[in-house]
Amino acid sequence: ARPAGGFRVDYGFVATVDREIMRDLERDVGYGITDLWDEIVETLQGAPVSTDTE
């Protein structure tokens, strides 16, 4: 659906939020939790691989 004649929808705020998120990768995401994805990946890469299916 298109907006009624002459009206334009401005979603500029979405681009602003996206830029903010991309710029601050290790941001506080709430309740004392920090985005530590890189540390999690490094830890898992050093973990021994288990092939046990039992």
Total domains in the fold of the chain: 1
* 34 has pLDDT over 60: yes
Per-residue pLDDT, 32: 60
Establish if 5 belongs to a structural domain: no
Provide the CA 2 distance to its chain's centre, in angstroms: 30
Establish if 54 belongs to a structural domain: no
What does DSSP say about strands 33-34 and 28-30: parallel, antiparallel, or unpaired? antiparallel
* 26 has pLDDT over 60: no
pTM of the model: 0.26
- Spatial contact of 34 and 26, defined as CB atoms under 8 Å apart: yes
Q: Is 16 helix (H, G, I), strand (E, B) or coil?
A: helix
Cα–Cα dist 17/30, whole Å: 17
Q: For a pLDDT cut of 90, what percent of the chain falls above it?
A: 0
Per-residue pLDDT, 39: 80
Establish if 16 belongs to a structural domain: yes
The whole-number average pLDDT for the span 20-32 is: 58
Residue type, position 49, single letter? V
pLDDT confidence of 6, banded at 50, 70, 90?
A: low
